Structure 1
Amino acid sequence: MENTLNINDINEWNAFNNQKTLHPLVSVIDFSKANPRDWGDAESIKFHYGLYSLILKDVKCGDMRYGRNYYDYQAGTLLFFAPGQIAEIKNTGAYQPSGDGLFFHPDFLRGTALGKNMQDYKFFSYHTNEALHLSDDEKQMVLACFSKIESELKQPIDKHSKKLIASNIELLLNYCERFYDRQFITRDNASKGILEKFEELINGYFLSHKPQTIGLPSVAYFADELHLSANYFGDLIRKETGQSAKDFILNKTIEVAKNKVFESNKTVNEIANELGFKYPQHFSRLFKQKVGLTPNEYRMN
């Protein structure tokens, strides 16, 4: 048996959590005010998010899965969900919710500066093993932002309300960007392990027949192999190497190409095909752009 909870409407979500609605499109929720959760004999509970959601967990209430994999989260972890996403929690019995959350409807963003920049906050599309683990100081800053937003929600709605609420949400998201940058650094060993595995995967890719069957290696392919979202994977590689994942793959492709050009008597067309290029002209053009010489010129020199 499986329960499904749709989180689409601020007023309904507030009522479910014993929270007063202060604004029709935005809410800050104290989950300790909610009734104990009891999902009966359901094996798991699916949460369908129709709202932007930032949830600061103070209690672990069962393994949370997004897609095929499980979230790396515990108390003091900040989770992000965008409209259209689905999370699943394994039912481990009744529990009292604890923690805080910010929820806002996508309609609230219309006509705001935040709405124009929302796509820049890539952590809303992160998924497995990518939750934000906060230090005590960071947790207090997040709670302070929640408090400022809630304080503004309690004010009578006027012509300044939307701008001030949106500005405070944007401030919170900017802090989250900073905290993620810190996490990439402090979880350095895990990041380096991913980078090493990434390089192993690239090397293995070119030693296999995948270039001929799949084509040129892509960011999405390696992110999927590492069980990471493309955005989180790209941000992590940029932090570790100073270049985008796409450029990293491209430069590795050119290094493999240089070896093949220099060490074999194969034609340029044959090498292009082995690397996964659909058109040899594309390979030659890219090779010259990166190396400064055509493949044949590089071989001659």
Structure 2
Amino acid sequence: MKNMVELEMVNDYCKGLGLSASHPLVTVVDLSKADWKPRKGTRSVRYHFYGIFLKQGQQCIMRYGRQNYDFQDGTLVFVGPGQIVNIEHIETDYQPTGFALLFHPDLLLGTQLGKVIDSHSFFSYELHEALHISERERQIVLDCFSKIEFELQQGMDRHSRKLVTSNIELFLNYCHRFYDRQFFTREHKNQGVVGKFEKLLNGYFNSDKPREIGLPTVAYFAGELHLSPNYFGDLIKKETGKSAKDLIQDKLIETAKARTFDTDKSVSEIAFDLGFKYPQHFSRLFKKNVGYTPNEYRMLN
């Protein structure tokens, strides 16, 4: 891709700011110390490591996916390996402030954090789904960063890797708590998302989309609502207690049960109308959830 900057290691990010990483695989960056040299136009950056940015100021616009995000005081943004961020509208006198925690996947090999890193779904949220934190929460973030930086400055010994990754995991667990608080404080807005999802789900099976597109997915509804699949899934789970995937399947089975009463259509036709490519897959799922095959359920009723 034209103008794509590949950040392979954490020091690649640091060098662009005139800084150096504390360790080849992990570092905490004080962005106020950066020797920033802004470039004209839009720049695309692909990260090959994890990055958490505590950003301040509104002089820089970053775009990931469909929407722009203007950084504000007390905002945490998460970037995972493979994600592309577009940076634009940077003033020539721009001086970044805030902090960044960067760590490479290789740091996590064989560690407890490595086993659970995929559960931290916010690394695949879009930028406009960033975490907005209070002043008290911001101090907790800075304390976590300070502990990680302290370990890196001591010189690596046999305890260092475990202590560093444990402190990163502690910080990420705090982020889960902060996101739960953000979901709660935006409950009214979230309920609007749930309502729209239910309306879209009902409309999907009352249209030709199942035959044209296939079985509905979490990613499809997230896209319709302009949310990342993980953020959408986490929001739905917080608001309803059930996963978006389970709610989709519940609606699918409910619709399938109702359509078995239409004796003018065969089970195969019903399967195709619902988006299944193969009728046997439909029959297997139906029996797993209802306890009877579609034909048996039709006969019972």
| Structure 1 vs Structure 2 CA RMSD | 2.2
Q: Secondary structure at the match of 1:43?
A: coil
Q: Please, which moves more after superposition, 165-174 or 195-204? A: 195-204
* Other-structure match for 1:17: 17
Give the percent of matched residue pairs that are identical in Structure 1 and Structure 2: 56
Distance 1:30 1:213, change over 3 A: same
Query: Is 1:167 matched up with 2:166?
Result: yes
* Contact map agreement 2:259 2:270 (CA 8 A) in 1: yes
* Contact map agreement 2:18 2:36 (CA 8 A) in 1: no
CA distance in 1, matches of 2:287, 2:113: 42
Query: TM-score, normalised on structure 2?
Result: 0.90
Q: Secondary structure at the match of 2:158?
A: coil
Query: TM-score, normalised on structure 1?
Result: 0.90
* Other-structure match for 2:257: 258
- How many angstroms does 1:20 deviate by? 4.9
Q: Which amino acid aligns with 1:143?
A: L
Q: Which amino acid aligns with 1:9?
A: M
* Contact map agreement 1:128 1:229 (CA 8 A) in 2: no
Q: How does 1:169-184 map to 2 (within 5 A)?
A: 169-184=168-183
CA distance in 2, matches of 1:107, 1:65: 27
> 1:238-276 CA distances to partner (integer Å, 9 max, x unpaired)?
111111111110101112223323366433222222111
* Contact map agreement 2:53 2:101 (CA 8 A) in 1: yes
CA distance in 1, matches of 2:174, 2:185: 16
CA distance in 1, matches of 2:119, 2:100: 21
> 1:5-42 CA distances to partner (integer Å, 9 max, x unpaired)?
44333334334434454322211111111134532xx2
Q: How does 1:1-301 map to 2 (within 5 A)?
A: 4-39=4-39, 42-71=40-69, 73-94=71-92, 95-262=94-261, 265-299=264-298, 300-301=300-301
CA distance in 2, matches of 1:231, 1:72: 21
- How many angstroms does 1:280 deviate by? 2.6
Stretches of structure 2 that go unaligned for 5 or more consecutive residues are: none
CA distance in 2, matches of 1:144, 1:87: 27
Q: Secondary structure at the match of 1:151?
A: helix
Distance 1:263 1:137, change over 3 A: farther
Aligned length: 298
Stretches of structure 1 that go unaligned for 5 or more consecutive residues are: none
Q: Secondary structure at the match of 2:102?
A: strand
CA distance in 1, matches of 2:21, 2:256: 61
- How many angstroms does 1:4 deviate by? 4.8
